[in-house]
């Protein structure tokens, strides 16, 4: 007797990876906001901590949050890339090759200058049938604005230190307040749009269009 084969089962939507992506990126967003809040809560103590760090390491609340956020940042990037890879493989499994640049969700973040566009192209390729292009654009613009705020933060901190004494100029560091506000706000906005993208794409990507 010849075996009878039915149609291949449809791939499962990666709901677990989607939930993990949303949760991890939310944790990162909250930790960044909490770390930046130290500048507003007690600016004088923040400057004092910076001055102490130049000679003796100090494990204050802001430093502790930064140490905690690093592994969560890495985990969020990895899980997001896993989710994107799973969406791409699911689309191929149902005969809808999304195209785009292969595996860009893994390596596209690390290419200097090009990393300001490659991850967005990867996201657009897998979500183009599920999410409006403007949602992807707004997510990416907000995230790039967060990156730029981070660079501006580093420039202000470096420019405020007296290289001879290691002491920071408190007046120069006042510029950090609007910068960290922009950084926290744009990361929160990016998270909102990323959540929309991940949720809708997970729910809709296997629908026949």
- Classify residue 131 by burial, with Cβ atoms within 10 Å: 0-12, 13-18, 19+: buried
Highest mean pLDDT among 49-58, 137-146, 166-175: 137-146
For the chain, the domains span: 15-204
3-state SS string for 52-120:
HHCCCCCCCHHHHHHHHHHHHHHHHHHHHHHHHHHHHHHHHHCCCCCCCCCCHHHHHHHCCCHHHCHHH
> What is the pLDDT at residue 5?
45
When pLDDT is cut at 50, 70 and 90, the band that residue 124 belongs to is very high
Per-residue burial over 53-73, b if 16 or more Cβ lie within 10 Å, else e, is eeeeeeeeebeebeeebeeeb
Q: Please tell me which residue, 48 or 155, carries the higher pLDDT value.
A: 155
Distances (CA, A) of 91 to 99, 124, 150, 169, 179: 10, 13, 35, 55, 40
Query: pLDDT tens digits, residue range 46-91?
Result: 787 777 765 565 566 666 777 788 899 999 999 999 999 999 999 9
- Which tens digits make up the pLDDT trace of 83-117? 999 999 999 998 888 888 889 999 999 999 999 99
Measured distance CA(96)–CA(85) in Å, rounded: 14
| Mean pLDDT, the chain, whole residue set | 88
What pTM was estimated for this model as a whole? 0.87
């Amino acid at each position: 007797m010849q075996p009878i084969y039915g149609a291949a089962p449809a791939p499962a939507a990666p709901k677990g990876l989607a939930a993990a992506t949303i949760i991890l990126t939310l944790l990162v967003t909250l930790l960044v906001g909490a770390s930046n809040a130290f500048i507003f809560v007690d600016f004088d103590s923040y400057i004092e901590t910076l001055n102490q760090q130049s000679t003796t390491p100090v494990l204050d609340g802001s430093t502790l949050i930064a140490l905690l956020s690093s592994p969560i940042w890495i985990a969020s990037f990895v899980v997001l890339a896993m989710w994107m890879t799973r969406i791409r493989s699911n689309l191929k499994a149902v005969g809808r090759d999304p195209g785009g640049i292969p595996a860009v969700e893994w390596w596209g973040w690390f290419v200097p200058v090009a990393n300001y566009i490659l991850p967005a192209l990867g996201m657009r390729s897998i979500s183009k049938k599920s999410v409006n292009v403007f949602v992807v654009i707004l997510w990416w613009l907000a995230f790039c604005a967060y990156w730029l705020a981070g660079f501006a933060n580093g420039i202000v901190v470096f420019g405020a230190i007296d290289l001879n004494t290691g002491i920071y100029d408190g007046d120069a560091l006042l510029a950090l307040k609007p910068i960290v506000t922009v950084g926290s706000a744009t990361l929160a906005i990016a998270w909102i749009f990323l959540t929309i993208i991940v949720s809708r794409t997970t729910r809709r990507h296997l629908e026949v269009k």
